[in-house]
Amino acid sequence: MEQIRYVKIPLAETRTEPDHHVEYALNVQGPVRSWTVWHRYNDFLTLAYELEREFPGTATPATLPPKTLSSWFAKVTTGDSSNLEFIEERRHSLERYIQGMIMSDDDRWRTSKALQRFLAPAGKGSKYLAGKNGPSSIAGTASETGSIDSDVGWVTAGSWLNDQRDAEQTIRDVRQSILRRENALTRNEVSVSHQCLLQAKRQLTDLGRTLKALEQGLEQISSSLAAGELLRRQDMLMRLNEEKANLTQLVLGPGVVSGGSDRAALLSGASTANNNTRLIGRAGGSNTTGNGGAYNMPGVMPVRTHKLDEQGPPQPRSRRIFGNSNPPQETNQTRGLDSQGLLQLQTERMREQDLVAVEFSALLRRQREMGETIGNELDLQNQLLTELDQDMDRTGNKLAAARRQANKL
C-alpha cells in the first residue's frame, strides 16, 4: 500500500440499515491521490484487537475511546444535542487515535498490515471492504464489514503489481519464520519455536487475504490489460497460490511433511522454473497481438506469434562466456534470510571452516610425526642390515682363510 500522509475524520453520519448506528468518514491522503473510507466504531475495536495481536504488549501512540453507555443511547435516540456532542467528541478521539499511529516516530504502526487493511481503498483486499458499491448502497453490510466510499477505478495495473510484490515479501517472511522455527527446534527452544509457528500462521492468513484481493483486482482490471500481460499475471498468481499451499503444509506440523527432503523441496520453491516455462509457453502460443507486434510493457517479454509459428522452437545460440556462467543458486539455509542473516551465516560457515582447518592441521601434524618415526625406524633397520652384511663378509673371509690353512695341513 502507498505511504499515507495524514488521515482526517471530518464527518459522522447516522444510518439505519441494517441497524441504527453511526459511521465515520476517514479521508485518507496519499502521496498523489486521496480516498474516503467509512467505518463504524466496531471496526475500530476490531483494528485495536488486530494491532494488539500483531504487537503484543505494546500500547498504541493514542488511546482508542472506550465504549460507554452513551453510545447505546445514541443508537436509540436521535436529534438529542447531548448525543450529537458525544458523537462529535468520539469523532475527534477516533481521529487522534488514527492520526497518532500515522504521525508516530515508530514506523511499525504506519506499516502494520492491520492499519493498512483498515485504511485501504477498494481492491486492496481489506477485510472491511464491502464491495463495489458506494456509500449510499453499502449501509446494509456496514455492520459486518464496514464500507468504503470509492470506486473500482482505484485498482490499477501498477497497484496490482505492488500488491503482488507485497505477497512475495510475505512468502519470504513465512519461509524465514519456518527456518527460525526449525533452528529453535534443533536447539530445544520450545517457546521460540511456538512463537515462530504462530507468526507464520498469521503471515499465512494475511497472505491468503492478499491473494484473494489479487484475484478480485485482476478480474477488475482484466479488460484494460493486453492478453499476454493478463496471462503473465495469471501465472504469477497461480505460482503464489502454489507456494502458499506448500508453505501451509510446512506450517501445519511435522506430520504433514514426510521427511526432511520433502520439507527442503517445499522450502526451495521448485515450481518457479516450471511456472516460468509455462508462462513463456502460454504467452508465446497466444494469438492476440493482432498485428503481430510485441507488447511494449515493462517486465513483459515481447511476443510475436506468427514468427514463432514459422520458426518453430528457438534454437540455442552459442556464445563465449569467460568464467563461471552459472548463476548462484538459492539454498535452504539462505532462503528467507536478510543481509544481516546472510552475513551471520557466512561468519558461522567461515568459523566452522577454520575449526575444520585446525583439526585437519593437527591430523596432518600427527601423520607427519608418524611418517618421520617410520622413516627413522627404516633407517635403523637399513643400518642393521648393512652391519649384518659386513659381519657376514668378515665371517666368510675368516672361513676362507681357515679352509686354506686346512688344505695346507
Whether residues 144 and 105 share a domain: the answer is: yes
Beta bridge partners of 11: 25
The residue among 307, 326, 155 whose CA lies nearest residue 224 is 155
Would residue 202 count as lying in a domain? yes
Do 216 and 276 lie in a common domain? yes
Residue 121 lies in a domain: yes
Other CB atoms closer than 10 Å to residue 68's CB: what's the count? 11
What is the pLDDT, as a whole number, of residue 320? 52
| pLDDT (mean) for 153-163 | 72
Residues 37 and 56 in one domain: yes
Indicate if 25 and 146 belong to the same structural domain: yes
The answer on 198 and 90 residing in a single domain is no
Please report, for the domain that includes residue 51, its CATH number: 3.30.1520.10
Average pLDDT, the chain: 74
3-state secondary structure of 110: helix
Q: In the predicted model, what is the mean pLDDT of residues 236-254?
A: 85
Interatomic CA distance for residues 112 and 58, integer angstroms? 13
Answer whether residue 327 is part of any domain.
Answer: no
**Same-domain pairing of 180 and 280:** yes
What domain range includes position 301?
157-310
Per-residue pLDDT at 16? 79
User: Would residue 258 count as lying in a domain?
Assistant: yes
C-alpha cell belonging to residue 40: 463504524
Joined together, the cell numbers standing for residue 231 give: 496471462
What number of other Cβ atoms are within 10 A of residue 292's Cβ?
11
Q: What are the two backbone dihedrals, phi and then psi, of residue 12, each rounded to the nearest 5 degrees?
A: -135, 130
The answer to whether residue 145 is domain-embedded is yes
184: pLDDT strictly greater than 80: yes
CA-to-CA separations, 189 to 173, 249, 332, in angstroms, rounded: 20, 22, 21
Q: Are residues 161 and 306 in the same domain?
A: yes
Higher pLDDT, 343 or 82: 343
Q: Is residue 136 part of a domain?
A: yes
Q: Which of 248, 279, 310 is the last residue of a domain?
A: 310
Residue 24 lies in a domain: yes
Query: Do residue 143 and residue 210 come from a single domain?
Result: no
Mean pLDDT score, 287-293: 41
Q: Which of 255, 280, 310 is the last residue of a domain?
A: 310
Indicate if 33 and 143 belong to the same structural domain: yes
Helix (H) or strand (E) holding 137: none
C-alpha cell, 370: 608418524
The mean pLDDT value for 21-50 works out to: 85
The average pLDDT across 388-393 equals 93
| Alpha-carbon gap, residue 369 to 96, rounded angstroms | 79
Residue 146 and residue 23 in one domain = yes
- Please list the alpha-helical segments (H only) found in 256-338: 260-268, 271-285, 305-311
pTM given for the model: 0.36
Cell representation of residue 353: 571452516
Residue 319 has pLDDT above 90, yes or no: no
Q: What percent of the chain has pLDDT over 70?
A: 68
The domain tally of the chain equals: 2
Check whether 151 has a pLDDT greater than 80. Answer: no
Identify the three-state secondary structure at position 79.
Answer: coil
pLDDT score for 279: 42
Which residue has better confidence, 288 or 386? 386
What angle is formed at CA 151 by the lines to CA 146 and CA 154, rounded to 5 degrees? 105
First and final CA of the chain: distance in angstroms?
A: 126
Q: What is the pLDDT, as a whole number, of residue 128?
A: 39
- Higher pLDDT: 319 or 329? It is 329
Rank 106-110, 270-274, 279-283 by mean pLDDT and report only the highest. 106-110
Alpha helices in 222-338 (DSSP H): 227-252, 260-268, 271-285, 305-311
| Distance between CA atoms of residues 289 and 311, nearest Å | 17
Q: Which residues are within 8 A (CB) of 112 and not within 5 positions of it... i.e. 6 or more apart?
A: 51, 54, 55, 101
Check if the beta carbon of residue 181 is closer than 8 Å to that of residue 175.
no
**Looking at 79-88, 216-225, 266-275, 324-333, which range is the least confident one?**
266-275
In this prediction, residues 5-19 reach a mean pLDDT of: 83
Distance of CA 205 to the CA centre of its chain: 13
**Does residue 130 sit within a domain?**
yes
Sign of the four-CA dihedral 349, 353, 354, 355: positive
Contact 229, 160 (CB under 8 A): no
Please tell me whether residues 166 and 290 are part of one structural domain.
yes
Q: Looking at 151, 183, 215, which one is the last position of a domain?
A: 151
CA-based nearest residue to 121, from 4, 268, 17: 4
Higher pLDDT, 285 or 160: 160
Same domain, 130 and 204: no
